[in-house]
């Protein structure tokens, strides 16, 4: 079967799942009480907005897809790929936010939540004199865009140079970029991406001894810090566990685990008990309905590349990334924590769920072209969602 036919099949599969999911969501909003939102599968409200600013995001997407189609990123130097990937992701995120004007650049910045990390970040920003909502939002957006190059570094280090380059449009033009702008959850996603990239470097066979231990310890520290922002984040540590074992570097698990305990221990000494915070994060909403609705939100936020990735997960050495993200998502659903707002809470996991989209059709098979059709439909989905969802 040709690559084009396989891609169309993946797209049709995604569309079928979306249709079934939206039907389920319609039933939930009609018959389930206490959902806590009228905008399921997302939190917030719908407010259709179309204007001249709505043309920005399609223009950015068209430029990125044209560059990919010409194969420029396949041939460019790797530092250039990382820099332009960051700029592409930043432009895409900002263009989606600007659909609602400047309000879109700071509408999500101030939701501290139960863990101490978000409150501390906002306190430090205020102490540094960054108090204006637009300034805070711009800073968080700039940091959030680092997700693109960090993910690419990790994917390239495990899956190879060409799959890493061809994953760029998937992550840079993702539908979930809507929620990266002015978001503290985007900061968590960046911390976890940096953790994974550090773990990839630690387990590289070219690094041994102190050098490998230093990178593994750094990965652990980043994981521990990220856990101060999100209760689901520790599950992403499973990605490094799988990666270390796959690369026969199992001893690095001890170093990473020790590093992760440092921030948690410091927080404990300061009076924050992580387990108590986890219990306090429970919400009084119908678990069964919101579990299904959350998976519908994931399907839309991850885009059509998710289907291609799940289908080819056995064909990529990047499978540990997908395993960790999948377990994190399912654990929050089964634990009853997925009760609305996963479009932001799961930002950490979305980039890793689609990581096999650029994997070969069979293990060790020839490379596949960039999934332009899937990326384009995902970008169109993002444009529609940005126009329909009210920021905040």
pLDDT per position in the chain (392 positions), as tens? 677 899 999 999 999 999 999 999 998 888 776 676 767 888 877 888 888 999 999 999 999 999 999 999 999 999 999 999 999 999 999 999 999 888 888 755 455 556 878 878 888 888 898 888 889 999 999 999 999 999 999 999 999 999 999 999 999 999 999 999 988 899 999 999 999 999 999 999 999 999 999 999 999 999 999 998 888 899 999 999 999 999 999 999 999 999 999 998 887 777 776 666 665 555 556 677 888 899 999 999 999 999 999 999 999 999 999 999 999 999 888 876 666 688 888 999 999 999 999 999 988 889 999 999 999 999 999 999 999 987 65
Assess contact for 224 and 259: CB atoms under 8 A.
yes
Assess contact for 100 and 176: CB atoms under 8 A.
no
Helix (H) / strand (E) element for 292: namely: helix 287-302
Assess contact for 136 and 144: CB atoms under 8 A.
no
Assess contact for 222 and 179: CB atoms under 8 A.
no
pLDDT score of 69? 96
* Structural domain range at position 361: 3-388
Assess contact for 55 and 387: CB atoms under 8 A.
no
pLDDT score of 384? 95
| Other Cβ atoms within 10 Å of 332 Cβ, number | 22
Number of domains into which the chain is organized = 1
Reported as a single tens digit per residue, the pLDDT across 317-333 is: 999 999 999 999 998 88
pLDDT score of 230? 84
Distance CA 240, CA 314 (A): 17
pLDDT score of 144? 95
């Amino acid at each position: 079967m040709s690559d084009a036919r396989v891609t169309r099949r993946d797209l049709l599969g995604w569309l079928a799942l979306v249709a079934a999911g939206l039907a389920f969501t319609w039933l939930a909003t009609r018959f389930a009480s206490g959902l806590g939102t009228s905008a399921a599968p997302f939190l917030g409200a719908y407010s259709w907005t179309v204007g001249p600013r709505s043309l920005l995001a399609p223009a950015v997407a068209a430029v990125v897809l044209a560059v990919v189609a010409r194969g420029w990123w396949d041939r460019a130097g790797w530092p250039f790929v990382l820099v332009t990937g960051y700029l592409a992701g930043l432009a895409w995120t900002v263009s989606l936010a600007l659909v609602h004007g400047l309000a879109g650049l700071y509408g999500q910045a101030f939701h501290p939540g139960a863990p101490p990390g978000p409150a501390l970040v906002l306190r430090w920003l205020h102490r540094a004199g960054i108090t204006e909502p637009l300034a805070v939002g711009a800073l968080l957006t700039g940091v959030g865009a680092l997700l693109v190059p960090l993910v690419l570094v990790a994917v390239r280090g495990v899956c190879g140079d060409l799959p890493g380059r061809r994953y760029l449009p998937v992550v840079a033009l993702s539908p979930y970029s809507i929620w990266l702008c002015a978001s503290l959850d985007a900061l968590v996603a960046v911390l976890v991406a940096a953790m994974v990239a550090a773990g990839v470097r630690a387990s590289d066979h070219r690094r041994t001894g102190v050098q490998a231990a230093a990178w593994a310890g750094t990965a652990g520290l980043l994981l521990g810090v990220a856990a101060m922002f999100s209760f689901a984040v520790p599950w992403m540590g499973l990605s490094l566990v799988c990666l270390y074992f796959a690369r026969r570097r199992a001893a690095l698990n001890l170093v990473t685990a020790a590093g992760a305990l440092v921030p948690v221990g410091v927080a404990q000494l300061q009076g924050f008990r992580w387990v108590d915070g986890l219990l306090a994060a429970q919400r009084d909403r119908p678990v069964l309905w919101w579990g299904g609705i959350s998976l519908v939100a994931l399907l839309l936020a991850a885009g059509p590349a998710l289907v291609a990735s799940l289908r080819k997960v056995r064909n990529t050495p990047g499978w540990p990334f997908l395993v960790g993200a999948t377990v994190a998502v399912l654990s929050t659903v089964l634990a009853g924590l997925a009760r609305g707002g996963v479009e932001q809470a799961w930002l950490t996991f979305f980039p890793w769920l689609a990581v096999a989209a650029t994997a070969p059709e069979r293990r060790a098979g020839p490379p596949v072209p960039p999934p332009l059709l899937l990326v384009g439909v995902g970008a169109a989905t993002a444009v529609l969602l940005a126009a329909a969802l009210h920021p905040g």
